[in-house]
Amino acid sequence: MPIYEYACDNCETITEKLVGISSDNGEIECPKCKGKAVKIMSASAFHLKGGGWYSQGYNSTPSCGSKNDSPACQSCPASKG
């Protein structure tokens, strides 16, 4: 279940709450003043670590066969032209 942040309209308290996706209506009762607290956009705690497509799959180095001075490899679509 995700943790959502809520901001109270009255006292501006920020509250975190563990809420099921299907049961979330976007509003909760503020635990401090009992006013209306609405869900706010917050920073994600998601962090990619190590090697993988996000660090190696989108680099600026061209793939094989894209330079004029080297022929395309056998598995490249350019070699089947």
* Residue type (1 letter), 15: T
pLDDT in tens, 5-42: 999 999 999 999 887 777 767 889 999 999 999 999 88
**What's the whole-model pTM score?**
0.52
Phi, psi of 44 (to 5 degrees): -80, 150
pLDDT number for residue 54: 62
SS3 74: coil
Q: What is the pLDDT of residue 48?
A: 74
The b-or-e profile of 47-65 (16+ CB within 10 A means b, else e) is eeeeeeeeeeeeeeeeeee
Quick one: pLDDT at residue 3?
A: 84
Q: What is the pLDDT of residue 64?
A: 59
pLDDT per position as a tens digit, 42-68: 887 777 777 776 666 665 565 555 555
